[in-house]
């Protein structure tokens, strides 16, 4: 699964790296958090957790503005453009009774995404890219235990081994809030949320966890983001083509990342070998500190 990741780039960097035409990260939207998000949405965040708002790339017609209405352009269609927006992590389908369901839908399995009612419609017409710097995964030690006698878990940071921007395959959905939203000026509003697709871990990474996020190559972005591509067989082909092994490198990091309040560049720094206890090297299979 993918339950935490780092998104350390500023919006202007994302606009360039992901060929974004419209930066809409300044637009306010509904949040499910009770307290202000830290760091603020859109700021570099080394510990993105479910329910936070984070940058997402999607292709859609821009929202109609009050200026458009004044010009009498209500009935005119706006062309779809590639946008950068702040969405809430944890997909909330339109039919959900309340947004709490999103905490159980932070990931969607690539193998069954077209068969699950919560994800199928989004997979056919509301696909997005989740731009990240890297993700965290916890390895269960085969030899070491914690103070409670349970297998010790060691967090790893996984990122691309090259300089290609890392984009995860995602889906997004709209949910209408029946209550006024302070973040949207006290008006009824929409919650726009997303989920990250996962797949079987590739060789090496499976020594950390059996699953990993589904990453797309730049040449796959246009098709994945195209809202006109709505055929299930075409989407299956896109998902199958996304499996490209050998792109990632991984290293153990501080267990502080397990605390959602922890943040900063230090979370992605490699731990010294001397600090490792019962950790399996994902490249060689060697047990370190056993």
Position 146 in a domain: yes
Which pLDDT does position 243 carry in this prediction?
81
Question: How many CB atoms are closer than 10 A to CB 203?
Answer: 9
Position 68 in a domain: no
Q: What are 42-70's pLDDT values in tens digits? A: 999 999 999 999 999 999 988 665 444 44
* Alpha helices (runs of H) in the chain, residue ranges in sequence order: 11-17, 66-70, 117-125, 218-225, 232-241
Q: What are 257-287's pLDDT values in tens digits? A: 999 999 999 999 999 999 999 999 999 999 9
3-class state of residue 66 by DSSP: helix
Position 224 in a domain: yes
Which pLDDT does position 67 carry in this prediction?
45
Position 70 in a domain: no
DSSP state of 290: -
Domain count for the chain: 1
Which pLDDT does position 187 carry in this prediction?
53
DSSP state of 187: B
**Residue closest to 253 by CA, chosen among 269, 230, 275, 233:** 269
In this predicted structure, the answer to whether residue 182 has a pLDDT above a threshold of 80 is: no
Position 182 in a domain: yes
pTM: 0.92
- The residue segments making up the domain with residue 20 are 4-63+79-288
Position 208 in a domain: yes
Position 15 in a domain: yes
* Residue 57: CATH number of its domain: 3.90.1680.10
Strand extents, DSSP E, the chain = 4-7, 22-23, 45-48, 53-60, 81-89, 107-109, 127-132, 134-145, 151-160, 166-176, 190-200, 211-213, 215-216, 248-252, 279-280, 287-288
Length of the chain equals 290
Position 151 in a domain: yes
């Amino acid at each position: 699964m993918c339950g935490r990741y780092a998104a350390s780039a500023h919006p202007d960097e994302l606009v360039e790296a992901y060929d974004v035409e419209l930066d809409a990260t300044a637009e306010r939207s509904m949040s499910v958090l009770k307290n202000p998000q830290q760091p603020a949405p859109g700021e570099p965040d080394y510990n993105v957790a479910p329910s936070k708002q984070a940058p997402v790339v999607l292709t859609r017609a821009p929202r109609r503005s009050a200026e458009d209405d004044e010009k009498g352009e209500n009935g005119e269609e706006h062309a779809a453009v590639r946008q950068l927006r702040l969405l809430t992590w944890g997909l909330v389908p339109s039919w959900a009774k309340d947004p709490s369901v999103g905490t159980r839908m932070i990931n969607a399995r690539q193998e069954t995404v077209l068969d699950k009612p919560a994800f199928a419609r989004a997979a056919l017409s509301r696909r997005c890219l989740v731009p990240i710097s890297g993700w965290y995964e916890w390895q269960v030690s085969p030899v070491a235990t914690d103070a409670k006698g349970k297998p010790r878990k060691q967090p790893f940071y996984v990122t691309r081994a090259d300089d290609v921007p890392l984009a995860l395959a995602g889906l997004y959905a709209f949910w209408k809030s029946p209550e006024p939203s302070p973040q949207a000026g006290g008006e009824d509003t929409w919650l726009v949320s997303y989920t990250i697709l996962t797949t079987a871990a590739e060789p090496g990474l499976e020594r950390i966890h059996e699953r990993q996020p589904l990453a797309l190559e730049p040449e796959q972005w246009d098709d994945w983001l195209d809202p006109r591509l709505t055929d299930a067989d075409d989407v299956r082909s896109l998902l199958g083509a996304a499996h490209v092994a050998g792109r990632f490198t991984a290293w153990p990091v501080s267990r502080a990342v397990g605390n959602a309040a922890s943040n900063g560049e230090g979370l992605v720094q490699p731990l010294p070998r001397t600090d490792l206890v019962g950790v399996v090297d994902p490249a060689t299979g060697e047990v370190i500190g056993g």
